[in-house]
């Protein structure tokens, strides 16, 4: 996909790798609708990235907010070419320590949010495929924790394993509609998103991750990278 003049939705766009995704997309000529819960952070992101970044306050775990947001983007921009499901929260603690409320919150943002956003954009991408022969690309940001279980990360593991299973099912469901689905499993990244005490002392950079996702998006229309695992080569330096 040539990203020039394309329309992308990025969730969790106000900081961390979501901000990096948004910046790289705009640098390639895309228009980005950045979603996050914090209005002030979104405003700062817009100031830094420029007018091609359109901030929208949205809680991705809220079905009504997600649907209204996606319809707004489709109405304003006329199309939706890319969705990067990046919003997520960390959660650590042993299973007998984690509250039911915290478990539900992790699942609501990390897994339910991915489902709600994908569900909302798919009809628009299917319509684009009918018109042009290519629908769009959904990228779900999981984690190495979606491939390997870790003590004291049970809630986070469960939510990211859910993203993995959902992504594989969705990929098989919509590929004939000209919609790509890619699930990304990053290891340790140099970002403020850190919990559980297991991060590497020599992590990858946010630009490493964003650059790879841009490569995935820019592949030719009939070429699908459905999964990609990212790790620091020397995690301890």
Q: How confident is the model at residue 20 (pLDDT cuts 50, 70, 90)?
A: very high
**Mean pLDDT over all residues of the chain?**
95
The set of catalytic residues is: 156
Domain boundaries, the chain: 7-230
Tokens 């690309």 correspond to what residue?
137
Residues 6+ apart with CB under 8 A from 67: 116, 120
Predicted confidence (pLDDT) at residue 114 exceeds the cutoff of 50: yes
Stretch 83-112: mean pLDDT? 96
Task: Kindly indicate the confidence band of residue 200, based on its pLDDT and cuts at 50, 70 and 90.
Answer: confident
Percentage of residues of the chain with pLDDT beyond 90: 92
The encoded tokens of residue 221 equal 């229309």
Work out the average pLDDT over 115-132.
98
pLDDT at res. 136: 98
**Cα separation of 25 and 160, whole Å?**
24
d(CA 143, CA 15): 17
At 13 the pLDDT is: 98
Residue 112 has pLDDT above 70, yes or no: yes
For 7-230, which CATH class?
A: alpha beta
In angstroms, the CA 13 to CA 85 distance is: 10
Residues 6+ apart with CB under 8 A from 11: 18, 35, 36, 58, 60, 84, 85, 86, 87, 113, 117
């Amino acid at each position: 996909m040539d990203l020039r003049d394309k329309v992308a939705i990025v969730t969790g766009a106000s900081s961390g790798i979501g901000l990096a995704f948004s910046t790289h997309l705009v640098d390639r000529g895309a228009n980005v609708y950045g979603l996050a819960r914090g209005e002030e952070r979104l405003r700062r992101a817009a100031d830094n990235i420029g007018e091609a970044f359109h901030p929208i306050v949205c809680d991705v775990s809220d079905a009504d907010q997600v649907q209204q947001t996606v319809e707004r983007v489709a109405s304003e921009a006329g199309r939706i070419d890319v969705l990067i499901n990046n919003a997520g929260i960390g959660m650590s603690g042993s299973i007998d320590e984690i509250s039911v409320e915290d478990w539900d919150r992790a699942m609501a943002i990390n897994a339910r949010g991915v489902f709600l956003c994908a569900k909302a954009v798919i009809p628009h991408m299917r319509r684009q495929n009918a018109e042009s022969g290519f629908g769009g690309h959904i990228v779900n940001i999981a984690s190495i924790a979606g491939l390997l279980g870790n003590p004291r990360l049970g809630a986070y593991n469960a939510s990211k394993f859910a993203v993995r299973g959902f992504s594989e099912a969705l990929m098989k469901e919509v590929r004939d509609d000209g919609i790509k689905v890619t699930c990304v499993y990053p290891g340790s990244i140099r970002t403020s998103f850190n919990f559980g005490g297991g991060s590497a002392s020599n992590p990858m950079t946010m630009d490493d991750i964003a650059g790879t996702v841009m490569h995935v998006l820019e592949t030719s229309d009939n070429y699908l990278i459905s999964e990609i695992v990212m790790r620091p080569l020397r995690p301890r330096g």
